Amino acid sequence: MAPFDGKIGIRQVSLGQFLSAGTAVASLQSVDPIYVQFNMPEQFLKNLYLGQPIQFTVSNFPNETFTAKIDAIDSNVNTSTRNILVEATAPNPQGHLFPGVFADVNVILPQKNNVVTVPQTAIAYTLYGDTIFVVKQEGVDKQGKPILRVRQRYVKIGEQRGNIIQILDGLQAGEEVVTSGQLKLQEGMQVVINNDVAMPSMSKEYLKTHNE
């Protein structure tokens, strides 16, 4: 008799076959509860805690969202990927979830207000740090029109949700940033803003930082 309830797999031996001690006949999997393992980038470590809720979906039930709670966080970060392994426990009374199935996981993080964010395309990633170009008005020309120049700044980035990234330091809410064409820019270059240039999945170029 098995020491736990579960699902038995396909038989690995034939009828009438002679068996030696310890030969595997079939596998038995405990599936309620079931464990979900996933990796998180190291910058989110400060946001993870035991008992934290997560939501996930699986391909065989694409229209159903399952819930689980984090019950283990690995003790070290993978030096190659800079990710940390996390394990959550999910109830599975109906047996919809199978061991080995791929899951799309969404960790529920605490909501933050008054956060400065920019589109991912506004950030240039370099070995020396992450930078953005800020558009500043520096005087007016002979016709009284504002003179706009770009200033490159190093910024400290935080959480990312979709294509939006939080800026922790180096940018104030309301400042204008460049979201495309940074390779053509240099520090102090004079520019003209064109908000009619369409960005992917956006109706117009996203130049202004905003508060979430």
Q: Which amino acid is at 145?
A: K
- Give 147-182 as a DSSP string: EEEEEEEEEEEEEEETTEEEEEES--TT-EE--S-G
63, containing H or E segment: strand 61-73
CATH architecture of 116-211: Beta Barrel (2.40)
Does domain 31-107 correspond to CATH entry 3.10.400.10?
Answer: no
Q: Alpha-carbon distance 17 to 87, whole Å?
A: 40
pLDDT, residue 142, reads 84
Q: Alpha-carbon distance 96 to 105, whole Å?
A: 16
pLDDT, residue 28, reads 57
pLDDT for 54-93, tens place per residue?
999 988 888 889 999 999 999 999 988 889 999 999 898 8
pLDDT, residue 69, reads 93
Q: 53-58 and 34-41: which strand pairing? A: unpaired
Question: In the chain, what are the domain boundaries?
Answer: 31-107, 116-211
pLDDT, residue 177, reads 92
Q: Which pTM was predicted?
A: 0.49
C-beta separation of 88 from 183 below 8 A: no
pLDDT for 42-58, tens place per residue?
888 888 899 999 999 98
pLDDT, residue 156, reads 92
Q: With a cut of 70, which residues of the chain have pLDDT below it?
A: 1-14, 23, 25-31, 196-212
